[in-house]
Structure 1
């Protein structure tokens, strides 16, 4: 499958999955659950995902990124993955009462144990999905992710309607893991080996030991946010903070995550061929910042009317938090594949130390901000984003010989395009007032912003305009083919 065709399926999967998750979160938040209930689940999920770092031995990166791989070793990898994941599940189930006591929230016991049970199912999808990525079968991956997301989120909505409170979300996690495991095994069946061979799992363990340290530091920096906010500011504040972070993060993943997932195996092939990575990386950076910065600008500008329209009056406290988290997301996308590129180039040890440095900064900045206020916690995402960008920009610029002046030009072009995208919405908010902006005005501002963004891409001669040109040419060719007789 070509890179652009793979990107089509990957982008489609991201859009469908985002639409499903977004619709479910709006329905559940607006009609069924309150911020405190969402906050309780967020703490349980964050605790589970921090502990789940022990199950991430870099299996996906190992299978999809190594130059050569023996298919008969997949059973060994799966057995190892099962052993680690089931250990994580056991620890979560046994430690649930301690966590509930630490936060003085008895409801955490059942939530953590339910989420822990999902890790019994997770490994049966891990190896199979890694094979799909290695084979660049993003069409198959589309059906796995979209199908499991649809069934899991429908389950959560139905159970929330039935009055299961935060437990509806936990059951949704379990159902998603179950459907993903079944569908992934159908696409790429892999059976565990009863006695894994040491010579086969040894390379994975060597790779995974360094990958584990990277995943551990990344998980602590990312997943500990709700834990820190919950401990210092309480579960109500956690519900608001997690909703803002999730909305900004999901939209960011929607517009750029699919592109990045396609480029990882593509970069692996270029590495194996001995080709330089600077030019394709600059193009990836240009596409990422062009898309993400425009989307995040629009999200930040219309945060207040959007939150009121989607979630209702109970969630108005999300709006100022969403403004700052959206700006922070712009910084976190400015250096794409910040972990994948060093891993591909054999710089894992250096990456480990860099991850520890930026993780320490993340925890310290957020904890200090929480002592001030909830809005300060959201603002701290921008400060941490600047630190994060400075660290990885310095590292990757040297690693793949990025011309600094080219990077600066790309940033300036993307910033101008983002300003153009947000300008129509700014004008509408100025003349109408945010309290008077409803769905028609939001749709109008978004549509005009999209047109302004495309116009600015061409006026600024942004590198991403070539992707639009190509898409238009493909669309024209498809229309001509349909008009031809016979």
Structure 2
């Protein structure tokens, strides 16, 4: 690969990160708007009903894509027959899952002794079909690094879903708003993705052409199954043992803390996976691209997550209202888990881009043991106990995960510690200052001081390393270019 191609790939990745970052900012704002508005129209129990269904639905939905989307992005060469077969695999799987959800409704109602989650799981088949017919289109846009199109699809989906959710919340004042709103958003996003991608399926299907892609997808699906099982067992057990109220508190805390991290990780995955796949034969370049992305992600998220943990009582009261203050201890522990989870999630890029999906599946087995063990250990103490045990398990698994995920790549375990340590230390110092001053000043002042301290120290600590200085210079250039684009220009007088 020549220098011009290197520059082209780097520029595409940079543009993609900027565009997708904008779309994720819109998604975060819509999530916050939904949190502030919808949460005051509904009750913790309404959210608990949806959270009862989420573990079952997310586990089954893994079979909707069968890991074929990642295979489409990772493969260097694809034929039209392979692409067409992947589309029809996704459609067939989506139709089967939609019918299965309808049949599953009575069983879910019996398990929870509550008919409401049974109705919701049956109706969820509509959303399954709305998303299933567009999985390939999104994968093709990602493969071609058409990040502007992906950004528009994401923003339209988020905004349409938000508006619909608010309308249904005002008119129904029930949990149905939380199901129907995302359904409307999914329809809007699907229509737009079809228009953007331009590819159309053929009825001439050669199933055998996709065997190689399916082998890749099976290992990814195996990991996703284990990951979803372990990550959603907490919701099922809390609902079964403690009821919808406790689950509603836990679910809102989890989503409030994890949503910003997930919305940042998703666009970066779209940029980094195709970029890493293209430079797999260049070890040093592969390492540099990966660590640059992870360092930037850590710098943006980790200090804020630790400050959020230290100010959990104030954040819950401000965003969710007084009726949700019981969720503050849950939010505290989940925020501590989030402070390191951003790097743990990024290790998936190493597994997939390097083609080590079998190792990824095997790690899924060990990771599931950690997570399930923590849920069972914390369950006697309710949702707060589960959150605390989960945070502990996230910290304990770090040495194993870092070694496992970097094996066979040019990235080393020490590299992951090095990108995490500066922001982690800065956030810890800021948290100490918050706890010392929180009884002596206004809540908003304490939070503002914590944020400024955390990001100020993180900037200073990163500046001690060459890679850190390069990252800060990159952020400066992005900010400068963005401001320059919208700076007022002098008017040119007409001749």
TM-score w.r.t. the length of structure 2 is: 0.90
Which of 1, 24, 38 aligns to 1:14? It is 24
Q: Does the CA-based 8 Å contact 1:24-1:153 persist in structure 2?
A: yes
Deviation per CA, 1:251-281: give whole Å up to 9, x if none: 2224544334311111111115566533333
Structure 1 gaps, min length 5? none
Partners in 2 of 1:286 and 1:478 — Cα distance?
21
Partners in 1 of 2:367 and 2:232 — Cα distance?
14
Deviation at 1:406, TM superposition (A): 4.2
What SS class does the counterpart of residue 336 from structure 2 fall into?
helix
Residue in 2 that maps onto 1:437: 443
Q: Does the CA-based 8 Å contact 1:140-1:187 persist in structure 2?
A: yes
Give yes or no for the alignment of 1:390 onto 2:399.
yes
Give yes or no for the alignment of 1:100 onto 2:100.
no
Residue in 2 that maps onto 1:327: 336
Deviation at 1:421, TM superposition (A): 5.0
Partners in 2 of 1:118 and 1:287 — Cα distance?
34
What SS class does the counterpart of residue 271 from structure 1 fall into?
coil
Q: Does the CA-based 8 Å contact 2:423-2:458 persist in structure 1?
A: no
Deviation at 1:27, TM superposition (A): 1.1
Structure 2 gaps, min length 5? 1-10
Partners in 2 of 1:474 and 1:148 — Cα distance?
26
Q: Does the CA-based 8 Å contact 2:134-2:190 persist in structure 1?
A: yes
Residue in 2 that maps onto 1:454: 459
What SS class does the counterpart of residue 192 from structure 1 fall into?
coil
CA gap of 1:335–1:479, structure 2 versus 1, over 3 A, is closer
What SS class does the counterpart of residue 277 from structure 1 fall into?
helix
CA gap of 1:113–1:207, structure 2 versus 1, over 3 A, is same
Give yes or no for the alignment of 1:184 onto 2:193.
yes
CA RMSD of aligned residues (A): 2.5
CA gap of 1:76–1:302, structure 2 versus 1, over 3 A, is same
CA gap of 1:47–1:164, structure 2 versus 1, over 3 A, is farther
Residue in 2 that maps onto 1:208: 217
Residue in 1 that maps onto 2:125: 116
Give yes or no for the alignment of 1:418 onto 2:424.
no
Deviation at 1:343, TM superposition (A): 2.6
Which of 373, 389, 395 aligns to 1:380? It is 389
Deviation at 1:87, TM superposition (A): 0.6
What SS class does the counterpart of residue 296 from structure 1 fall into?
helix
Q: Does the CA-based 8 Å contact 1:74-1:190 persist in structure 2?
A: no
Residue in 1 that maps onto 2:227: 218
CA gap of 1:119–1:475, structure 2 versus 1, over 3 A, is closer
Q: Does the CA-based 8 Å contact 1:67-1:272 persist in structure 2?
A: no
Partners in 2 of 1:477 and 1:296 — Cα distance?
28
Deviation at 1:320, TM superposition (A): 0.7
Which of 137, 150, 154 aligns to 1:145? It is 154
- Pairwise mapping of residues 239-388 of structure 1 onto structure 2 (< 5 A)? 239-271=248-280, 277-388=286-397
CA gap of 1:347–1:296, structure 2 versus 1, over 3 A, is same
Deviation at 1:429, TM superposition (A): 1.6
After TM superposition, the structure 1 stretch with the greater mean CA deviation from structure 2, 381-390 or 180-189, is 381-390
Q: Does the CA-based 8 Å contact 1:152-1:175 persist in structure 2?
A: yes
Deviation at 1:204, TM superposition (A): 2.5
What SS class does the counterpart of residue 347 from structure 2 fall into?
coil
Partners in 2 of 1:243 and 1:479 — Cα distance?
35
Q: Does the CA-based 8 Å contact 1:16-1:146 persist in structure 2?
A: yes
Partners in 2 of 1:409 and 1:352 — Cα distance?
26
Partners in 2 of 1:257 and 1:270 — Cα distance?
20
How many aligned residue pairs are there?
480
CA gap of 1:184–1:230, structure 2 versus 1, over 3 A, is same
Deviation at 1:56, TM superposition (A): 2.6
Deviation at 1:291, TM superposition (A): 2.4
CA gap of 1:99–1:311, structure 2 versus 1, over 3 A, is same
